[in-house]
Amino acid sequence: MNWLQLLSHKRPGETNTVAHDQTRSRFEQDFDRIIFSHPFRKLQDKTQVFPLPEDDFVHTRLTHSLEVSVVGRSLAKNAGTHLLGKYPELRAAGYTTHDFGGIVGAACLAHDLGNPPFGHSGEDSISSFFLTNAKGQFFKNKVTEQEWKDLTTFEGNAQGLRILNSKGNGGLKLTFATLGAFTKYPLSSSSEKENRRKSQKKFGYYQCNADLFAEMATEMGLVSLGSSTWSRHPLAFLVEAADDICYHIIDLEDGCRLGLVPFEQVKSLLAEIIGDSYSEEKVQKIESQNERLGTLRAMAIGQLILECSDAFITNEEAMLDGSFDSDLTSMIPSAAAMKKIIDLSIEKIYRSKLVLEKEAGGYEVIDNLIEAFATSVYADKFDHPLPKHKSILRLLPEEYEVQLKGAETVYEALQIVIDFVSGLTDSHAVRLYKTIKGYRLPV
């Protein structure tokens, strides 16, 4: 791969070459389009770790995405400084460090757009409906084998790519470079996987976006690894690192603020990352524990940005030939400390009563919503709808009704149902569940 291709500012479907504008680059336009999009706004009421938070310091998907974008931008500008010095043709083409920051910042901003309500339990519930629910199993012989694989393995990353390119969402039409950096798993649900490759742990696009992804891969010159499978865009490693840094450090901070993890234990772990710059004396001079926690978090993130930038620069050439395939945070000096944080978070935070209650409730809510809308849509379009089905369909927003009119196959109709349910906020999903179950009727 080469960087001039990888930094493509063309958009899907474009045939004419557009000059690179340094005043307001297309990568900055990508960032702005995401910020103003409806799917992005809905992240303010989607669970990050802790459900429907009442405390204003607990992170939602929105605040998490903004923070990941900030960290990703810093990582990318560090990397860009090195690349611009190493490859003079990039400067000759007018690229600057701001372009690298713009691409990764935009991709980070969008990285959680495909996540359903209630986090991972929402993902599992959508897949489980088709795998284990008799009403979901009904659809198996109504779709192709590849389409069934999509339905039974719902994936937030692939759903995110679908959202970014869906006509129903206005079609954001992001640049190829931003879409490439966004895609951590450049393969389909049906692709053959190599277990050793981190980039094949999950998948990044549905069958409905197969042609789009092939166009992306060709435009940017991604290394082909087999049928419907490619190597990662190198900047995707920075997006992943930014997410890892924020996810683990800030979840730990939230856990501490909620009293799930003692401050002294958090301080010790963050001090291990901060290293020689840590000063117990300076920490003690900070008046409140929350301020001390915030200062330590900022210092730890700053150190991780430096270490991950160095790891990217060290492995950049291997990324270009497709041989590098590991997460950057596992290769840095602070990897052991990060592992301790991950283990502690699993024990004290992700398995806390607060989180487990959210997951249990999320399964029930999403399973019932998917069942209600999938069966109603099928009955209305392909069978004989009952009054109940028509009543449920009236709860769909107008844009989904319009899209369903154009759906010609069962797969297309079910994907629109999944778009709707996975796009709900946590609060909207709970209200809709109560409405369908009759819990909100006046008595």
Give yes or no for a contact between 237 and 186, defined as CB atoms under 8 angstroms apart: no
Q: In angstroms, rounded to a whole number, what is the distance separating the alpha carbons of residues 174 and 122?
A: 27
Per DSSP, the three-state class of 35 is helix
Give percent of the chain with pLDDT exceeding 90. Answer: 77
Q: In the structure, what pLDDT confidence band is assigned to residue 109 with cuts at 50, 70 and 90? A: very high
- Which tens digits make up the pLDDT trace of 36-56? 999 999 999 887 766 555 555
First to last CA, the chain: 65
121 compared with 245, residue with greater pLDDT: 245
Which among 347, 341, 351 has a CA at the least distance from the CA of 252? 341
Mean pLDDT of all residues in 244-250 = 93
Average pLDDT, the chain: 91
Taking residues 1-10, what's their average pLDDT? Answer: 96
**Which tops the pLDDT comparison, 257 or 265?**
265
Angle, to 10 degrees, between the axis of helix 410-422 and the axis of helix 353-382? 150
Contacts of 273 (CB under 8 A, 6+ apart): 300, 303, 304, 334, 337, 338
pLDDT score recorded for residue 163? 94
**pLDDT band, very low/low/confident/very high, at 441 (cuts 50, 70, 90):** low
Task: Give the Cα-Cα-Cα angle 153, 159, 164 (nearest 5 degrees).
Answer: 165
Average pLDDT of 250-277?
A: 92
Supply the DSSP symbol for 349: I
Mean pLDDT of 237-253: 94
Instruction: Render pLDDT for 62-86 as a digit per residue (tens, 0 to 9).
Output: 999 999 999 999 999 999 999 999 9
Say whether pTM exceeds 0.85. yes
pLDDT of residue 77: 98
Asked whether the predicted pLDDT for residue 170 surpasses 60, the reply is no
pLDDT at 258: 83
Residues 277 and 299: beta-carbon distance below 8 Å = yes
Per-residue pLDDT, 442:
63
The 8 Å CB, 24+ separation contacts for 310-319 are: 312/75, 312/79, 312/234, 312/237, 312/238, 312/241, 313/79, 313/82, 316/79, 316/82, 316/83, 316/234, 319/1, 319/232, 319/234, 319/237
d(CA 127, CA 150): 9
Q: What confidence category does residue 16 fall into, taking pLDDT thresholds of 50, 70 and 90?
A: confident
Six-digit token string for 5: 């291709």
Q: Which one, of 160, 311, 181, 310, lies nearest residue 234 by Cα?
A: 181
Q: What is the pLDDT of residue 119?
A: 80
